[in-house]
Structure 1
Amino acid sequence: MLTTRLDTARIRAARDVIDPVFLDSPLYRCAALEAALGCAVSVKLETANPVRSFKGRGTEVIASALGSGAVVCASAGNLGHALAWSGRNRGLDVTVVASRFAPATKLDRIRALGARLELVDGDFELARERAVDIARHDGIRLVEDSLDIETCEGAATIGLELVAAEPFDAVLIALGGGAMATGVGHVVKDCVPGAEVICVQPLGAPAMTLSWRRGQVVTTESTNTIADGVAARRPIPAVLDDLRQVADDAVLVQEASIIAGMRMLFDHAGLVVEPSAALGVAAILEDRERFAGRHVVTIVCGGNVDPEAHRRWTGR
């Protein structure tokens, strides 16, 4: 029996408050990828919505509960983009704190949605510290990705859609702070316990994977990866506890494999994705024998990538 912070009944109820534009994202077998990767591959396309990432599922749950008022979050870009979208539609005053080194594409979209954007001269962890300060000083709601259960249970609705479709042997989930991994993992293990839940993280940002392997929080001094959306250094203990309940494995992949995955998704599936969304394909590329002959689902979790950077990385 699962003993995570998440609850499957609440996850099912979350579908009633999430704008349908974020629900039932495309899920399809991609024959061209299968020929290239040597296994059956289904793509769960979480970029086909107004914020181009899965984060809108969680911010909709948060915004629907708040109704009005002010909120602040730290973000590598996608959470802030999603919270700005949900906040604008539901009358919330949104402040987003991000690194000034975050992709300009993500920052521009946050501004375009009317959120207040504050930039810090550091990484996501410094942005998180600043967001905490703002929340305390202004007395407003702090939205903490992965720690706030709504972000996990909103992401978990992806899992409901997966288990309602055709059977699969394994699901590959990008791992950063852990909201999507714990959310989808909870549903899969609750509903289809025989399916393997595999989390994938860049070798240059390994904190959560190392923590999962050692059974205790491991922090890193820095990150070095193009996958900015999963480049966290300080895992949250409660999230790690959940992850250890639902993940069968956590693997690290090289930058070259992430780039190859982005190129493969473009060439064989016609998808322009951010690096974090290519982690699942990268994992297959690095261990083809493990997945040979199996049916694997990979969650394409975000498509907010600077076009020039995408061309530079992939040559496309």
Structure 2
Amino acid sequence: MQETRLDTDRIRAARRLIDPLFLDTPLYPVQGMEPGLGCAVSVKLETANPVRSFKARGTEVIAGRLVADAAREVVCASAGNLGQALAWSGRDRGLDVTVVASRFAPVAKLDRIRALGARLELVDGDFDLARDRAAAIARHEGIRLVEDSLDLETCEGAATIGLELVDAAPSFDAVLIALGGGAMATGVGQVLKTMAPGVEVICVQPLGAPAMTLSWRQRRVVTTDSTDTIADGVAGRRPIPAVLDDLLVLADDAVLVREESITAGMRMLLDHAGLVVEPSAALGVAAILEDRDRFAGRHVVTIVCGGNVDLARYHRWVGAGR
């Protein structure tokens, strides 16, 4: 395998820095989905922790190292989940955390960031505008900027999911990973390609937010002017070149799915697994729904990456297909 920015030994070390609250999340088959999908599906439940997403695996590593270096302040841009995770990890370690987010982000995510004690600054634009503002704050204040997917701690923290898959799962054929900035895809991909190279690593993005997938397909950074998807957690417009370089090594495929498939996936996870998930967490199921022949007869793992969703929107999305 070609080299990437990630390192398997550092990933194992990251595992030791993460609060056990965020480790060893459940992995189990959902047999009720098999007839509708035509394949065996197991879910890796990354919502089973206090911030209801995988992001705290990375922020635990970052916050621990900041405290070790005697840092007191940190800032990040977030679509919602990273901000919650950094607020949690920072609060437990006495860090002052600033989160910059779009004022159009889900209210449930913004409220939770505030409740966890972070300072929240809202911008009148999307996630990529929040990224610009967070970088400006970091420069002006001289504090650490956490850049999701660019910072290796976010990738290698997420990669501990891959260690757990390799340790705990029976044989499986493919893993479906929601693709946004790329931290989870590159992190889990690094572990699987190193330790279980026969497993297919498939990234999934919405048609309405395709920048990273288009970049992967064209092997160069492709930006978009806007996004249009309910999957706010993966709705970026400007891929990070270094992350794309890693993804080109680690991903076997990157696919795009329709909005109606995302809501159908959310509905299946509710009906057959009792899971209330945000749209990004249903991307894996959506990919199977759109290409049943590809996965027929195989054992597929999908990472349920987040469960922070405004319930009014959730009921509207999930109820629309009934």
- The one-letter code matched in structure 2 to 1:295 is H
Q: Give CA deviations for 1:129-178 in whole Å, capped at 9, x if unaligned.
A: 00000000000000000000000000000000001121110000000000
Name 1:6's counterpart in structure 2: 6
3-state SS, counterpart of residue 91 of structure 2: helix
Structure 1 distance, partners of 2:227, 2:15, is 35
Q: Is the 8 A contact 1:52 1:303 kept in 2?
A: yes
Name 2:239's counterpart in structure 1: 235
- The one-letter code matched in structure 1 to 2:64 is S
Structure 2 distance, partners of 1:217, 1:124, is 18
3-state SS, counterpart of residue 204 of structure 1: coil
Count of paired positions:
316
Q: Is the 8 A contact 1:225 1:231 kept in 2?
A: yes
Name 2:154's counterpart in structure 1: 151
Name 2:61's counterpart in structure 1: 61
- The one-letter code matched in structure 1 to 2:89 is S
Q: Which runs of 4+ in 1 moved over 6 A?
A: none
2:270 to 240, 258, 266: 266
1:245 to 224, 235, 249: 249
- The one-letter code matched in structure 1 to 2:161 is I
Provide the alpha-carbon RMSD of the alignment: 0.7
- The one-letter code matched in structure 2 to 1:97 is V
Q: Is the 8 A contact 1:2 1:190 kept in 2?
A: no
Q: How does 1:283-294 map to 2 (within 5 A)?
A: 283-294=287-298
1:304 to 292, 305, 308: 308
Name 2:184's counterpart in structure 1: 180
Deviation at 1:291, TM superposition (A): 0.2
Structure 1 distance, partners of 2:44, 2:36, is 18
Structure 2 distance, partners of 1:215, 1:37, is 31
Q: Give CA deviations for 1:70-92 in whole Å, capped at 9, x if unaligned.
A: 00000000000000000000111
Deviation at 1:2, TM superposition (A): 3.6
Name 1:28's counterpart in structure 2: 28
Which stretches in structure 1 are left out of the alignment for 5+ residues? Answer: none
Structure 1 distance, partners of 2:100, 2:245, is 27
1:169 to 164, 173, 180: 173
3-state SS, counterpart of residue 41 of structure 1: strand
Structure 2 distance, partners of 1:275, 1:93, is 30
1:210 to 210, 214, 223: 214
3-state SS, counterpart of residue 36 of structure 1: helix
Q: Is the 8 A contact 1:100 1:120 kept in 2?
A: yes
Structure 2 distance, partners of 1:224, 1:142, is 27
- The one-letter code matched in structure 1 to 2:57 is R
Q: TM-score, normalised by structure 2?
A: 0.97
Q: How does 1:271-286 map to 2 (within 5 A)?
A: 271-286=275-290
Name 1:86's counterpart in structure 2: 89
Deviation at 1:34, TM superposition (A): 1.6
Structure 2 distance, partners of 1:231, 1:201, is 9
3-state SS, counterpart of residue 266 of structure 1: helix
Q: Is the 8 A contact 1:100 1:122 kept in 2?
A: yes
3-state SS, counterpart of residue 5 of structure 2: coil
Question: Alignment identity in percent?
Answer: 81
